[in-house]
Amino acid sequence: MTFKRAFTTKQSVRRAWINATALGVYELMLNGDKVGTDYFAPGFTSYDHQIQYQTYDVSGLIGSENMLIAVVAGGWAAGSFNYVRKNKISADRQAFLCELHLEYTDGSYEIVVTDESWQVSEEGNYRMAEWYDGETYDATVDLGQIAWKQATLTAPRNSPLLLAQYGDPVRAQEEMKPISCTHSPGGEVIYDFGQNFAGVISAKLSGKKNQEIIFRHAEVLVEGELFVKSLRTAKATATYICKEGPQTYSPRLTYMGFRYVGVRGISAEDLQLSALVLHSDFEEIGEFECSNELINQLHSNIRWGGKSNFVDIPTDCPQRDERQGWTGDLAVFARTACYNFDLSRFLDKWLADMRAEQAPGGGLPMVIPRAGDHWPRMATSAWGDSCILVPWAEYLARGDKRLLERQYPTIKKFLKAAKWWSEFLSFTPSSRHVWRFPFHFGDWCAPDETARQWLKKGKWVGTAYFSNSCGLAAQIADLLGYEEDAAYYRKLRSRINEAYRQVFTDSRGNLKKEFQTAYVLPLHFNMTEGTETAVMADNLVRLVREAGNKLTTGFTGTPYLLFALSDNGYPDKAYELLLQEGCPSWLYEVKAGGTTIWERWDALRPDGTVNIGDLSGNKKDEESSGGMVSFNHYANGAVGDWLYRRMVGMEPTSGGYRTFKVAPVLGGGISSAKGSIKTPYGRASSEWSIQDNRFTIHIEVPVSSLCTLSMPNGEQYKLESGYYTFNCEAI
């Protein structure tokens, strides 16, 4: 929908600004100029509870005769969204709200507001704009020639708070140039941008009136053609209808996840194509590099996974008919993300929606904002544990206790619900707190297994995550001064640990039903005691060996797999898995040409075919639905946390790096590694190298921060702010 309002200024203007928001996503133009640089304003929030508005300084754009135009697409509120493709989730139709403030040089003041003096048309330039299907833009449309109607007033369904923008707006972050331009067998001109990312094309072209150009998008090519089946119902197509002569086009009201663009309707000579990377406007604060180029590429893939999926909210993927705020994906990726990016505003915004959408009984939506999701709000492991894991990761990185304070009631309610469910139908005292019900995703996306098998591992995963969350809740309660709560959560945690031991193991560290994740979680979450720890670690090593030195973990086990090994006496095994190049492994994806992290380890099979997945175990279903495979899902990129915390060896020991430790784990033939973080206290860095069996490390400790350095030979140093170099024999 396009809204317009003409207005005349009474005299010369000293200052002018606009406050605006919409149900849908809007783009504003004043006298033909785009207002602001944001994409997808007002952003995605829990619209029943809160909607952001934006403020733009337009002093420089005002004349005496003015035309204010607002194009509002359906976006998340009124457009087609969610994998079941709902429409009008939060609003019956697009709506726009705006105040234009004019301060005249004589001190007088005027406000132009959205009211019935505005006009609206459905015949504007945008014939279609949707998240999944893309955009159709008709440049021949002259807004002066189309039919306009008087705008009518509408109200949001609920009474959301209108809040000044508090999240990071989505903006164009960089321009990508194609690395090649070829012809597909089917006759499309294929541009390869060399990198999978979220964004839009940007075209400079020379066209004829009514010439139609079609830009299709895909993450991979199969036999030289765009592979779009994995996009499921998403058409991911931008169609541009030209006016006469030289012109430019770049979509404003949609985005795609892609590396390749296929173009029809124009010859390569008449088109200059680039692309804009879009994501929320946060700062990149972490750097990592080591002597192994494949690992460096993995790190790059992890970062691109983050950037592509932090588009106003943390999404699961940027390309197919989903792009939703799946909580579990961020639960496991949050620590890695917070090493790489300053996500304080971004996460604070998302967590506000989580708090608003929690059920009174403590359950949480599986996707936040919930927008059209049909799942009941319930306590479910890993996905629900995001209410603790995400703010905890952010607190460790930035040190802002107020976020924990805000989040604490949500944590308490969630754990209360988890406890209730863990006692449900538990008839023996020993099985109390084995968390089975109501539902767990289990070891989601474990390789070579069906969805049913992932879900069946729910009780091991659920119980271990529950223990970990109680441990973190106790630490949070301590920090906030709730001593009784802290003691309560510690006690509950030891009962959960005992239940895991009693029900799942022989009490000596041997699982009755063995799988890697079921050893990884208790080991990494410190649920084990005495000799049990070493037995579990040995068993894990055996399972890895039996799997051909490969991992068999899904979303919930993978992030902690290398920690479970390296922290329990097997650093070499951790490096062996990290450096594994066969499928499934991180470097398999790198060697197969991946530039982001994949949802399935074998998304691209060794034979070059795409594994479009099969959720139901039903072949027919797989064929018709396009299955479940994305080349840009960050969850398995959670290994980035290990690269910083173990290979570089740097990790906060109190919020915001007020204190931190450096304890590099050597191995895998890695001869140097360095990492740095812009902490709230300043830059912290660690850079080590091995030469002629001599280990040398340079450390940078920011002002007011304290570092404990552990050298490979066991020596320890307490370091105050400053630059240091130490060396010892490399052991």
CB of 441 to ligand BGC, least distance (A): 5
Query: Which among 194-202, 241-249, 316-324, 530-538 is the span making contact with ligand BGC, rule CB under 6 A?
Result: 316-324
Residue from 329, 353, 373, 576 touching ligand BGC (CB under 6 A): that is 329
Q: Pattern of binders to ligand BGC over 617-646, x per CB under 6 A? A: -----------x----x-------------
Active site residue 322: yes
Catalytic hit among 130, 188, 219, 322 = 322
Does 326 engage in binding with ligand BGC (CB under 6 A)? yes
Which candidate, 189, 328, 342, 341, places its Cα nearest to that of 269? Answer: 189
The residue (of 307 and 573) whose beta carbon lies closer to ligand BGC is 307
Q: Could you tell me the CA-to-CA distances from 560 to 105, 113, 224, 335, 390 in Å, in that order?
A: 62, 54, 38, 11, 15
Tell me which DSSP letter residue 364 carries: B
Catalytic hit among 394, 599, 651, 687 = 599
3-class secondary structure per residue, 39-72: ECECCCCCCCCEEEEEEEECHHHCCCEEEEEEEE
CB of 309 to ligand BGC, least distance (A): 10
CB of 77 to ligand BGC, least distance (A): 22
Q: Give me the torsion for CA of 364, 281, 172, 589, rounded to 10°.
A: -60
Q: Tell me, what amino acid is at 353?
A: D
Rg (CA), the chain: 27
The residue (of 209 and 452) whose beta carbon lies closer to ligand BGC is 452
Q: How far is CA 511 from the centre of its chain?
A: 34
720 and 726 Cβ atoms separated by less than 8 Å: no
Does 385 engage in binding with ligand BGC (CB under 6 A)? no
383 and 326 Cβ atoms separated by less than 8 Å: yes
Helix axes 386-398, 401-423, angle to 10 degrees: 160
The residue (of 263 and 628) whose beta carbon lies closer to ligand BGC is 628
CB of 359 to ligand BGC, least distance (A): 18
Distance CA 84, CA 307 (A): 25
Within 483-542, which residues bind ligand BGC (CB under 6 A)?
none
Tell me which DSSP letter residue 626 carries: -
Helix axes 558-566, 516-524, angle to 10 degrees: 60
Those residues whose C-beta lies under 8 Å from the C-beta of residue 712, and which sit 6 or more positions away, are 664, 666, 695, 728, 729, 730, 731
Active site residue 576: no
The residue (of 459 and 633) whose beta carbon lies closer to ligand BGC is 633
Does 668 engage in binding with ligand BGC (CB under 6 A)? no
The residue (of 329 and 357) whose beta carbon lies closer to ligand BGC is 329
What sign has the CA pseudo-torsion 577, 578, 579, 580? positive
Residue from 322, 342, 373, 687 touching ligand BGC (CB under 6 A): that is 322
DSSP line for 525-546: TT---THHHHHHHHHHHHHHHH
Size of the site for ligand BGC (CB under 6 A): 9
CB of 387 to ligand BGC, least distance (A): 15
The residue (of 207 and 328) whose beta carbon lies closer to ligand BGC is 328
The residue (of 305 and 655) whose beta carbon lies closer to ligand BGC is 305
Residue from 316, 385, 532, 687 touching ligand BGC (CB under 6 A): that is 316
Q: How far is CA 481 from the centre of its chain?
A: 32
CB of 157 to ligand BGC, least distance (A): 27
The residue (of 471 and 637) whose beta carbon lies closer to ligand BGC is 637
Residue from 441, 504, 588, 634 touching ligand BGC (CB under 6 A): that is 441
The residue (of 367 and 540) whose beta carbon lies closer to ligand BGC is 367
CB of 367 to ligand BGC, least distance (A): 8
Tell me which DSSP letter residue 716 carries: E
Placement of tokens 């135009």 in the chain: 69
Distance CA 168, CA 527 (A): 38
Does 317 engage in binding with ligand BGC (CB under 6 A)? yes
CB of 193 to ligand BGC, least distance (A): 23
User: Can you say whether residue 566 is alpha, beta or left, with left for phi > 0 and alpha for psi between -120 and 50 degrees?
Assistant: alpha
Q: Could you tell me the CA-to-CA distances from 120 to 36, 75, 96, 143 in Å, in that order?
A: 22, 18, 10, 11
Query: Which among 179-187, 322-330, 413-421, 589-597 is the span making contact with ligand BGC, rule CB under 6 A?
Result: 322-330
Helix axes 386-398, 327-340, angle to 10 degrees: 10
Does 357 engage in binding with ligand BGC (CB under 6 A)? no
Query: Which among 207-215, 325-333, 467-475, 575-583 is the span making contact with ligand BGC, rule CB under 6 A?
Result: 325-333
Q: Give me the torsion for CA of 360, 364, 369, 370, rounded to 10°.
A: -90
CB of 442 to ligand BGC, least distance (A): 10
Beta strands per DSSP E along 404-537: none
Distance CA 57, CA 666 (A): 53
Those residues whose C-beta lies under 8 Å from the C-beta of residue 233, and which sit 6 or more positions away, are 85, 132, 321, 626
CB of 459 to ligand BGC, least distance (A): 17
- List active site positions: 322, 599
Q: What is the binding site for ligand BGC (CB under 6 A)? A: 316-317, 322, 326, 328-329, 441, 628, 633
